[in-house]
Amino acid sequence: MGRGLLLPHAKRLMLFPRPRGFSASAASTREPLHVCVVGSGPAGFYTAEKMLKAHEGVQVDIIDRLPTPFGLVRSGVAPDHPETKIVVNQFSRVAANARCSFFGNVTLGSDVSLAELRGTYDVVVLAYGAESDRSFGIPGENLRGIHSAREFVWWYNGHPDMHNLVPDLQNTDSAVVLGQGNVALDVARILLRCTTKLASTDIAGHALDALKSSTIRKVYLVGRRGPVQAACTAKELREILGLQNVHVCIKEGDLATSPADKEEMRNSRIKRRVHELLSKAATMHKEKNSNDQKELHFVFFRKPTRFLPSEGGSTVGAVELEKTLLKDDAVTGNQVAVGTGEFEDLKCGLVLKSIGYKSLPTEGLPFDNYKGVVPNLRGRVLSSESETTTVEAGLYVVGWLKRGPTGIVATNLHCAEETVASILEDDRNGVFMAPSDSRRQGRKGLLEILEQKNARYVPFDGWEKINSEEKIAGQLKNKPREKITTWDELLKAANGG
């Protein structure tokens, strides 16, 4: 209790008692299995939960580079989706388990290396997600006013790394969102939604202020392919189509389906339902309601070819789009968009690129740069430096780092199940057995490494202090919480305020 940020002192190791009271099972006859999970988002927490449930002799340490846990549940899930965040109750119960500890403010690569973790833990599970973005690689991409959707989402969700993003929402009436997945729909909805509705969410204070004075009235959602290929889910689409005072524009011609489209829809319930929703919206919204103050345009069959500056400025003024057609890709069997050589400019003062997150490698980790994931077999990390592929003993991946940046919170449940099954199988096969003189130290070893580097970590009760401070600040504003959005203040709050 009341540990806050730990300064190096001798007594702190006693705060982590060895697990006691094992029943007379096979697990009690051996040393604990030391597991470190890197990343405390859904993939990390589901992995920890399943390991703790399945193995009585396991000790799980979860490290995260932020002082706050829960990854994208905190910094990704939109503020107006509070129900999706309820899962943190479950994750908090996992963290409260006596055999589980959280070490926030610990960065893999700088505070502790992968090699050090592998030297001190029997099992290292990498669950650090995807903290970068795919890019188009087209001219003008560095103009001001062009951001990745991830940066914008982190900004409105109060991620401390995007506190200083400050997107300009006042120099234009039009924003272009490139991409039509759920993240694209999220950022479009936040730009269009009435701010009195947002004011009662946990949106970051700086974002709410900026949105209140936003002059953006039109949002264009641009996709290379058609309505059948849109990557969003019906839930998100239904929500944005139902926004108050927003006129939805969908060209009915875009909704026509080819035999290949029909085949795609036959094979996918979600595609059928998404297409159905768009078709309904296209007919419903034909007449513009006089109350509609804002517009949402679905722009299909267009791909960006370059970003054009505004007159004499370094800020984006338009996106050049090329019309596309769908063609069958012989290799993948998917329909892909190919340019037609016909171009048009779409004027705007803000561009949000929402074409996918990208994972980053870390030193000593096999990484597939093309796919942006760690090569793995059911979660076991594969190394292919030599001629033959080998398994990196004791090293695993889960979540976006394992399968790429797609899916919902629940996708990680099954992803974690698979990785945990691999770990348990390897444990049964004696993969983690070490001679008694070289037993791995687990938590004790991590604490020693952090102490050597004078790295101050934030334990789970440090997060709980942040949590209660945010909730108290939120009460004053009728918000579920007022997020603390800078590193300094987060660390101060974790340390007891």
Query: How many angstroms separate the CA atoms of 489 and 158, rounded?
Result: 12
Min separation Cβ 408 and another protein, Å: 6
Taking each continuous run of H as one helix and of E as one strand, the counts in the chain are 16, 18
| 108 labelled binding-site residue | yes
The four Cα atoms 158, 201, 232, 292 give a dihedral, to 10 degrees, of: -120
| 224 labelled binding-site residue | yes
The alpha-helical segments, DSSP class H, found in 70-148 are 72-75, 87-95, 114-120
- Beta carbon nearer to another protein, 324 or 419: 419
Query: How many angstroms separate the CA atoms of 350 and 318, rounded?
Result: 9
Contacts (CB under 8 A) with another protein, residues 401-420 = 408-411, 413-414, 417-418
Contacts (CB under 8 A) with another protein, residues 217-276 = 233-235, 238, 269-270, 273
| 407 labelled binding-site residue | yes
| 182 labelled binding-site residue | yes
Contacts (CB under 8 A) with another protein, residues 122-161 = none
The encoded tokens of residue 68 equal: 């706050």
- Beta carbon nearer to another protein, 233 or 279: 233
- Beta carbon nearer to another protein, 303 or 481: 481
Sequence-distant (≥ 6) Cβ neighbours of residue 339 within 8 angstroms? 303, 305, 322, 323, 324
Identify whether the C-beta of residue 201 lies closer than 8 Å to the C-beta of residue 79. Answer: yes
Query: How many angstroms separate the CA atoms of 268 and 260, rounded?
Result: 13
Min separation Cβ 47 and another protein, Å: 14
- Beta carbon nearer to another protein, 135 or 406: 406
- Beta carbon nearer to another protein, 409 or 449: 409
Kindly tell me which residue out of 1, 9, 21, 25 binds another protein, with binding defined by CB under 8 A. 25
| 23 lies in the site for another protein, by CB under 8 A | yes
| 145 labelled binding-site residue | no
User: HEC profile for 188-203?
Assistant: HHHHHCCHHHHCCCCC
Identify whether the C-beta of residue 120 lies closer than 8 Å to the C-beta of residue 449. Answer: yes
Query: How many angstroms separate the CA atoms of 408 and 430, rounded?
Result: 34
158 in the Ramachandran plot: left (φ > 0), alpha (ψ -120 to 50) or beta? Answer: left
Min separation Cβ 335 and another protein, Å: 19
| 43 labelled binding-site residue | yes
Min separation Cβ 323 and another protein, Å: 30
C-alpha dist (Å) from residue 389 to 82, 124, 376, 384, 411: 44, 19, 10, 4, 27
311 burial type by CB count under 10 A (0-12 exposed, 13-18 middle, 19+ buried): exposed
Identify whether the C-beta of residue 94 lies closer than 8 Å to the C-beta of residue 116. Answer: no
- Beta carbon nearer to another protein, 31 or 173: 31
Kindly tell me which residue out of 3, 5, 12, 56 binds another protein, with binding defined by CB under 8 A. 56
Min separation Cβ 70 and another protein, Å: 12
| 180 labelled binding-site residue | yes
Kindly tell me which residue out of 52, 190, 316, 494 binds another protein, with binding defined by CB under 8 A. 52
| 72 labelled binding-site residue | yes
DSSP-derived letter for residue 355 is S
C-alpha dist (Å) from residue 430 to 26, 119, 124, 418, 434: 13, 17, 16, 19, 9
How many residues form the binding site for another protein (CB under 8 A)? 32
Site map 72..111 versus another protein, x via CB under 8 A: ---------x-xx-xx-xx--x------------------
Binding-site residues for NADP(+) sit at: 180-183, 224-225, 236, 407
Binding-site residues sit at: 43, 72, 108, 180-183, 224-225, 236, 400, 407
Q: Which residues bind another protein (CB under 8 A)?
A: 23, 25-27, 52-56, 81, 83-84, 86-87, 89-90, 93, 233-235, 238, 269-270, 273, 408-411, 413-414, 417-418
